[in-house]
Amino acid sequence: MVQSLIGIMSLVEDTTVISRHNTDVLYNFVHIKAKEALDLGGMFTKEGKEAITGMDKLFIEKNVSPGGAADLLAVTYAIYDIENKYKK
Protein backbone atom coordinates (compact mmCIF):
# COMPACT_ATOMS: atom_id res chain seq x y z
CA MET A 1 0.00 0.00 0.00
CA VAL A 2 2.97 2.30 0.47
CA GLN A 3 3.58 2.30 -3.30
CA SER A 4 -0.04 3.29 -3.88
CA LEU A 5 0.15 6.04 -1.27
CA ILE A 6 3.28 7.51 -2.84
CA GLY A 7 1.61 7.39 -6.25
CA ILE A 8 -1.42 9.23 -4.93
CA MET A 9 0.81 11.77 -3.18
CA SER A 10 2.61 12.49 -6.45
CA LEU A 11 -0.60 13.50 -8.22
CA VAL A 12 -3.41 14.76 -6.01
CA GLU A 13 -4.14 18.23 -4.75
CA ASP A 14 -3.97 17.31 -1.10
CA THR A 15 -6.14 19.80 0.78
CA THR A 16 -4.58 18.82 4.11
CA VAL A 17 -1.15 19.91 2.87
CA ILE A 18 -2.61 23.06 1.31
CA SER A 19 -4.55 24.05 4.44
CA ARG A 20 -1.64 23.42 6.82
CA HIS A 21 1.00 24.89 4.52
CA ASN A 22 0.31 26.15 0.99
CA THR A 23 0.24 25.10 -2.66
CA ASP A 24 3.97 25.77 -2.98
CA VAL A 25 4.70 23.06 -0.41
CA LEU A 26 2.32 20.72 -2.21
CA TYR A 27 3.69 21.22 -5.72
CA ASN A 28 7.34 21.93 -4.98
CA PHE A 29 7.87 19.56 -2.07
CA VAL A 30 5.28 16.79 -1.72
CA HIS A 31 4.76 16.13 -5.42
CA ILE A 32 8.47 16.34 -6.22
CA LYS A 33 9.61 14.09 -3.36
CA ALA A 34 6.95 11.51 -4.18
CA LYS A 35 7.85 11.54 -7.89
CA GLU A 36 11.55 11.19 -7.04
CA ALA A 37 10.81 8.11 -4.93
CA LEU A 38 8.69 6.61 -7.71
CA ASP A 39 11.35 7.35 -10.32
CA LEU A 40 13.79 5.35 -8.17
CA GLY A 41 11.42 2.39 -8.22
CA GLY A 42 9.41 3.11 -5.09
CA MET A 43 8.87 0.08 -2.90
CA PHE A 44 10.19 -2.21 -5.63
CA THR A 45 13.85 -1.18 -5.34
CA LYS A 46 16.35 -0.58 -2.57
CA GLU A 47 16.93 2.98 -3.79
CA GLY A 48 13.21 3.69 -3.87
CA LYS A 49 12.71 2.34 -0.35
CA GLU A 50 15.59 4.49 0.88
CA ALA A 51 14.03 7.54 -0.79
CA ILE A 52 10.68 6.79 0.87
CA THR A 53 12.34 6.39 4.27
CA GLY A 54 14.15 9.70 3.78
CA MET A 55 10.94 11.34 2.60
CA ASP A 56 9.15 10.11 5.72
CA LYS A 57 11.82 11.60 7.99
CA LEU A 58 11.80 14.88 6.07
CA PHE A 59 8.00 15.14 6.17
CA ILE A 60 8.02 14.56 9.94
CA GLU A 61 10.76 17.16 10.39
CA LYS A 62 8.83 19.74 8.36
CA ASN A 63 5.45 18.71 9.83
CA VAL A 64 4.03 17.91 6.39
CA SER A 65 1.16 15.44 6.58
CA PRO A 66 -0.42 14.30 3.31
CA GLY A 67 -3.66 13.36 5.03
CA GLY A 68 -5.78 13.87 1.93
CA ALA A 69 -3.75 11.28 0.03
CA ALA A 70 -4.01 8.89 2.97
CA ASP A 71 -7.78 9.38 3.09
CA LEU A 72 -8.06 8.63 -0.63
CA LEU A 73 -6.07 5.43 -0.19
CA ALA A 74 -8.22 4.38 2.79
CA VAL A 75 -11.47 4.96 0.90
CA THR A 76 -10.14 3.16 -2.17
CA TYR A 77 -9.15 0.15 -0.09
CA ALA A 78 -12.47 0.15 1.78
CA ILE A 79 -14.43 0.10 -1.48
CA TYR A 80 -12.19 -2.66 -2.84
CA ASP A 81 -12.65 -4.69 0.33
CA ILE A 82 -16.44 -4.24 0.38
CA GLU A 83 -16.75 -5.17 -3.29
CA ASN A 84 -14.72 -8.33 -2.77
CA LYS A 85 -16.57 -9.40 0.37
CA TYR A 86 -19.98 -9.17 -1.25
CA LYS A 87 -19.25 -10.53 -4.72
CA LYS A 88 -21.56 -13.34 -5.71
Cβ contact 51:36 at 8 Å? yes
Instruction: Please name the amino acid found at residue 22.
Output: N
Taking residues 30-50, what's their average pLDDT? 99
Domain extent, residue 22, equals 2-85
Counting the structural domains of the chain, the total is 1
Question: What is the pLDDT at residue 88?
Answer: 64
| Confidence (pTM) | 0.91
The string of pLDDT tens digits covering residues 3-30 is 999 999 999 999 999 999 999 999 999 9
Cβ contact 69:8 at 8 Å? yes
